[in-house]
Structure 1
Amino acid sequence: MDKQLKEAQEKTIAALVKQSKRKSGVPIRNDFTQYSKENSPVPGRLGDMVKSGNGRSLDLYLLHRLIASAAPWDTSRPATVWARALGLGGEKYGKDAVSKCWTKLEGYGLIKRERVSRQAKITTLHENGQGDPYTSPEGKYFKLPLEYWTSGWSSSLSVAGKAALLIASSLRPGFYLPESQANRWYGISADSLGDGLRELQGHGLLSFETETVEDWGTSDVVFQRRHYTLHAPFGKGSKDPISLFLAS
C-alpha cells in the first residue's frame, strides 16, 4: 500500500472510531468463532471467511460492528468511506470491492443490506450467521478493544493473525489450542492457526507456557501441551499495551 492510501486509511479509521462513541471496545459473541449446534461445537462464520480467503470481508465486518454501536444496530456510510478504511482508496475499484464484501457478508447471514437514499444501510445480525436479529450480547462474548484499530493492528495483522487473535480472545487465559484441532473446532487449517499464533507471538501479543503430560495409553507416552495467554491490549497477560505505531 502506498503512503497516500495508508494515510487516508488511518485518518478514516480514526474518524470512524470517534464516530462510534465507543469507550471500551466491540462486544462479539463467541458464536462468531464457534457456536453450539445440537449440543456439539461447530465452527463459526470466522472459519468460513478464513477458509474462503475473505480477509477483506472480515475487516469490513469488524468495522461495521465498530460503528453499529446502538440499537437498531445499523450503519449507513458512503462506499468511498468504507473503501478508504480498507485501504482501497475511493475510486470505482474500491467501491466495487466494498459492494462484493457486503454481498459475501449477507451470504454468511451476518448482516442485512438495504438501499436507502441511494446508499446502503447495513444492519447487524446475530454472530452465529443464522440470520437471527442482533441483540446486546449476554453469556459468552469477548470485547475487541479499540486499540485493534487505533494502534494499527487491523491493517497490519495477516488474515491468519486476525483469526488467531479472535479465537484467542474468545478463550480464557492459559487456553489449550492444538493446531491439529483447528479445522474441527474452528473451521480453519492447522497451518493458518499455527501461522496466526506465531505472528501474535512475534508481536509480543501472545505467550505460552509448556506443560509436560504423561499418557500411557498413547505411543509416545510423554508429550507437551502449550497453554497460551494473550497480552494487552487484547488480554490481561501484561500491563503495558503494545502499539504497532509505536513499535514501527
Structure 2
Amino acid sequence: MKTTAISEQNIQAVKATGLDTRAAVLKRAVRVNVPVRKTFVQAPRGSTSRHGPLKEFVTGRDLRGLKAYLLIVAACSSGKDGWSTRHDSAVWARLMDIHTTATDQAARTGAWRALKRLQDRKLITCTRSGTLITATLLREDGSGDPYERPVGASDEDLYLQIPSTFWTKGYDEAVDLPALALLLVVLREKNWSSFPAEKAQDWYGWSADTHERGLKKLMDLGLVERRKHFTKAPLSPTGVTMAYQYQRTAAMRPRKARKKTTTPAAGTTVLGGFGSQSAAGAAGRGR
C-alpha cells in the first residue's frame, strides 16, 4: 500500500508560530493579568537613583531581552515550580521569534544569549541540560534576591499589571522598544498622569526623544490615549499652563478573572450571597 509523503509546504502550514507558542505558555500558566513590580520601571522615592532595571534594556537597545523577560514573568505563575519555566532551546527561540530570521542552530544560540543577558542583569537565573533551558525568576529590582509574588504590601512591593491579551492579540509584535518601555511606564501610574519628556532622563534613564517616540507609538497603536490638562498660572501670560495627560485604553486595562461556576447537587437549595471579586492591581502612587 502506497503512502503519500507530507510535503514540506504542508508541514510549514501547520507549524506553530511564535504567537501560537506564546499563547500556549500563557494558557498553561492560567494568566489573566501578569504582575510586575513597579521597581522594575522606577526605583521608589528616596532612592539614590530613580532608574529601574528597565533603563538597561532601553539604553542597550535590547528589545528581544525585554520581551523575553516579560514573557518569563508571565509564564512563572506558581511558586510550586520554584518560579521557573523550562523549554527546549528551539521553543525559547520560537517564543522570541528568532526562528523567523535564523537557522535552527543559530536561533537556539540566540535564545540562550538573550537569557544569559537577563541573568547578567540579575533578573533570572538560567541553566541548561542538553537542549532544555530552565529560567528562574529573581526579584524585579535587579537586586538578585529570590522572587516572591508581589502583593503590594510596601512601596517596593507595588506592582503594575499587563493583561495577557498583550501577547495573545499580538500587541507585543507591534510595539518597538520605546513603545514597550513607555507602556510599562504608563501602566505603572494612575490613569491620566503626566509624563513630561524633560523628566525622562532623571526619572527613567533614557532620552526625551525616546520618551516622546514611545508615547506617540502607543497612541498610534491605540494602547494609550491623551488629553490636555489646564492648571491656573497667575504669573503666566495666558493665566494657565497646559500639560498632556495619558492613560491606558481598554485594550491594556487589567482583565477580571472568570468566576468558576459549580452545579449544585440535586435537591440542594441555592441561597443568595455575596460573590468574591477579583482583586485589582495595587493602587498606583505618584512619582
Q: TM-score, normalised by structure 1?
A: 0.85
Provide the rounded CA distance (Å) in 1 between the counterparts of 2:165 and 2:220: 18
Provide the rounded CA distance (Å) in 1 between the counterparts of 2:66 and 2:232: 40
Residue 43 in 1 paired to residue 47 in 2? no
Larger Rg: 2
Aligned residues with identical type, % of pairs: 28
Distance 1:220 1:119, change over 3 A: farther
- Which residue of 2 is the match for residue 98 of structure 1? 111
User: Which of 97, 102, 107 does residue 87 from structure 1 map onto?
Assistant: 97
Distance 1:7 1:188, change over 3 A: farther
Counterpart residue identity of residue 48, structure 1: E
Q: Could you tell me which runs of 5 or more consecutive residues in structure 2 were left unpaired when the two chains were aligned.
A: 1-11, 153-157, 255-287
User: Which of 144, 148, 161 does residue 143 from structure 1 map onto?
Assistant: 161
Aligned residues of 1:229 and 1:235 also touching (Cα < 8 A)? no
Provide the rounded CA distance (Å) in 1 between the counterparts of 2:179 and 2:25: 23
- Which residue of 2 is the match for residue 127 of structure 1? 140
1:88 Cα deviation from its structure 2 partner: 1.5
Deviating runs (4+, > 4 A) in structure 1?
A: 37-41, 214-222
Please give the root-mean-square deviation of Cα atoms over the aligned residues, in Å: 2.3
Residue 162 in 1 paired to residue 187 in 2? no
1:93 Cα deviation from its structure 2 partner: 1.6
Provide the rounded CA distance (Å) in 1 between the counterparts of 2:56 and 2:47: 20
Aligned residues of 2:163 and 2:253 also touching (Cα < 8 A)? no
Alignment of 1:203-214 (within 5 A): 203-214=221-232
Provide the rounded CA distance (Å) in 2 between the counterparts of 1:83 and 1:117: 15
Alignment of 1:47-66 (within 5 A): 47-66=55-74
Provide the rounded CA distance (Å) in 2 between the counterparts of 1:32 and 1:134: 13
Alignment of 1:179-218 (within 5 A): 179-215=197-233
Which has the larger share of strand? 1
Q: Could you tell me which runs of 5 or more consecutive residues in structure 1 were left unpaired when the two chains were aligned.
A: 237-248
Provide the rounded CA distance (Å) in 2 between the counterparts of 1:233 and 1:78: 32
Secondary structure (helix, strand or coil) at the match of 2:231 reads: strand
Aligned residues of 1:213 and 1:222 also touching (Cα < 8 A)? yes
Counterpart residue identity of residue 59, structure 1: K
Provide the rounded CA distance (Å) in 2 between the counterparts of 1:233 and 1:143: 12
Distance 1:17 1:219, change over 3 A: same
1:198 Cα deviation from its structure 2 partner: 0.7
Provide the rounded CA distance (Å) in 2 between the counterparts of 1:150 and 1:194: 27
Aligned residues of 1:33 and 1:45 also touching (Cα < 8 A)? yes
Aligned residues of 1:57 and 1:102 also touching (Cα < 8 A)? yes
Distance 1:37 1:105, change over 3 A: farther
Alignment of 1:107-122 (within 5 A): 107-116=120-129, 119-122=132-135
Secondary structure (helix, strand or coil) at the match of 1:43 reads: coil
Count of equivalent residues: 232
User: Which of 55, 66, 73 does residue 83 from structure 2 map onto?
Assistant: 73
